[in-house]
Copies of this chain bind each other. A is one copy, B any other.
Amino acid sequence: MTTRDTILQAALERFARTGYLGSSIQQIADDVGTSKSSVLYHFESKEALLEAAMQPAIDAMSALVAALPHAGPDKLEAVPALATGFVDVLMAHSAAVSVFVTQRGALRDVPVIGRANALVDAIASTLVQEAPSARVLTRVSIGLAGVAFILGDALDDDREHVHPAEMREIFIDTLLELCLAQPESLESAR
């Protein structure tokens, strides 16, 4: 693995664990056993380093969105595939997900964060049916945010580790339930 890739990986882990603003270039350099100047040789700035570290996750999510039917009768059928793909991308890039979830507020004017926001919007609008009610919209948001948050959080969780495949299934099921189930049937339970 090249020095550049090593830095990239260490930076992503640091950003996920202590936040972008809470991570210094010097710390990242120490993590990989090089110098701050070396980091700044491979990446022209700290922000460029963040950008490069997030890119693989952005690319994977972009590919997912690009494969979607944008409208028409196929849209509803695409929901399960999208939910599955979404969870898979999230699980494959959990560190980047953690960075996005926790830093998107403080870094709202960083370009790569803005691009990630646009991707999430595209996914959410596909997961809900046409002319969505506030109810369904909110339910889908809860599902997307909840799954992303837990996955990002699971990095340093000392909690009992559930088998990843089991987690994946639970995430997909719950997401689909929030997207597709008729919530009105639950009213009587209140």
Which A residues lie at the B interface, using CB under 8 A? 16-19, 21-22, 80, 98, 101-103, 105-106, 134-135, 138-139, 141-147, 149-150, 153, 156, 162, 166-167, 170-174, 176-178, 180-181, 183, 186-187, 189-190
Contact = CB atoms under 8 A, between A and B. Distances in A.
Contact of A187 (B98, B102, B173, B180): B173
B143 A190 contact: no
B186 A138 contact: no
Taken together, the copies of this chain in the complex come to 2
Q: Is the interface of A mostly helix, strand, loop or mixed?
A: helix
B80 A190 contact: yes
Interface centre among A80, A98, A103, A177 (most CB of B within 10 A): A177
B21 A19 contact: yes
Contacts of A106: 17-19, 21-22, 102
A180 B177 CA distance: 13
Contacts of A177: 181, 183, 186, 189
B186 A181 contact: yes
